Amino acid sequence: MLKLEKRPEPSTLWTYLTPLVAVLATMLAGGALFAFLGKDPVLAIRTIFWDPLFSEFAYYYRPQLLVKGAPLVLIAIGLSLGFRAGIWNIGAEGQYIIGALAGAGVGLAFYPHEAWYIFPLMVLAGALGGCAWAMIPAILKVRFGTNEILVSLMLVYVAERLLASMSLGLLKNPEGMGFPGSRNLQNYPSAHNAELIAGSGMHWGVVAAFIAVIAAHVLLNRHILGYHIRLAGQAPRAARFAGVTPARLILVCLGTAGALAGMAGLFEVSGPAGQVSIDFNVGYGFTAIIVAFLGRLHPVGILLAGALMALTYIGGEIAQSQLGLPSAAIQLFQGMLLFFLLAIDVLTNYRLVRTAREVA
């Protein structure tokens, strides 16, 4: 018989091996899913992971890795700080939406005026909007002891209703012939998050994502706040003796995560998306949770995990158009990654041992 036995200390080998095994397990289970849907599993997996990088149209798909990966990395970096400290922000999708609404609102308020300072003000508004939305579960947690998981998650649905309301009301394009949605920010140079290098996919959101990775790495390894974050997650009782203030840590971690998610929303609405619309949010806030854990809550790991998840987004779109796979199957495929990651992660702290069968 086999049973799980707790390891004396976490396995370093399985810490690094778990993401790789989870990806392989996802490929196998995803292939079985695609075969069940009547598609060639090998062709489907190749289309998702190979074609965006090495097909004849890869020159078009490769820049999209930056476009799709930047918001995932930016949001996941913010989430990872809280997760490391044992603070579970599940509402990044709502913070992403509110940041987009706040930033786009500032840009549209200046329309059609042209000035260099409009876009920086939009970035600031996006960060403040996301931060303010994250402060709701943070303050409720600190003041009343509420569960930040439930509050932050429920606020996502409130944010979605606000998005629909703004698309049909306050931010609606007056020249849009009655259709929902704001003016197209891509046609407003001062508010447009344009590519810095034409055809590269590199825009200010990508730059911000790289800066966030570097800043998070320095914070966690070279700053007292990073030490407090790591200590609070690993040994909460010891953290109190070390002078860590839980309330301040909750406010800092949730506020930072909200600000980064809000910035991601602003960069997306002013760049690739172009406008506030009812279906603006595409689940980046939830997918970023997978990215954070797949990257082992490490800044560099998150950067690599964001690239991998962006690859599944792009490859999934190719598979939908070329192979006729339903979008729900691609979403399920992405969800499998988190499922297998959490399942296999058990082996980091536990090991399988063989036991003798008991005799009656």
- What is the H or E stretch that residue 228 is in? helix 224-234
Angle at 145 between CA 139 and CA 151, to 5 degrees: 65
Do 173 and 255 belong together in one domain?
Answer: yes
Q: What is the CA radius of gyration of the chain?
A: 22
Alpha carbons 109 and 118: distance in angstroms, whole number: 10
Count of helix runs (H) and strand runs (E) in the chain: 15, 2
Do 144 and 11 belong together in one domain?
Answer: no
pLDDT of 83 over the 80 cut: yes
Alpha carbons 69 and 61: distance in angstroms, whole number: 12
C-alpha distances in Å from residue 73, one per residue of 70, 78, 177, 292:
5, 9, 37, 8
CATH of the domain at 306: 1.10.3470
Q: Is 43 exposed, middle or buried (0-12, 13-18, 19+ CB in 10 A)?
A: middle
Do 334 and 240 belong together in one domain?
Answer: no
Do 315 and 343 belong together in one domain?
Answer: no
Alpha carbons 67 and 209: distance in angstroms, whole number: 11
The whole-number pLDDT of residue 57 equals: 85
Do 150 and 1 belong together in one domain?
Answer: no
Alpha carbons 68 and 86: distance in angstroms, whole number: 28
Do 4 and 103 belong together in one domain?
Answer: no
Alpha carbons 264 and 160: distance in angstroms, whole number: 16
The two tokens of residue 19 are 């993401």
Task: Provide the number of structural domains found in the chain.
Answer: 2
Do 133 and 276 belong together in one domain?
Answer: yes
Each residue of 97-127: pLDDT tens digit? 999 999 999 999 999 999 999 999 999 999 9
Do 136 and 207 belong together in one domain?
Answer: yes
pLDDT band at 22 (very low <50, low <70, confident <90, very high): very high
This prediction has a pTM of: 0.93
Residue 203, helix vs strand vs coil: coil
Do 196 and 220 belong together in one domain?
Answer: yes
Query: What percent of the chain lies above the pLDDT cut of 90?
Result: 76
Q: What is the mean pLDDT of residues 49-76?
A: 93
Alpha carbons 91 and 70: distance in angstroms, whole number: 18
Do 114 and 252 belong together in one domain?
Answer: yes
Do 215 and 202 belong together in one domain?
Answer: yes
> For residue 260, what are the domain limits?
40-324
Letter for the amino acid at 78? Answer: G
Residue whose entry in the numeric block shows the structure tokens 């979403």? 331
Do 302 and 359 belong together in one domain?
Answer: no
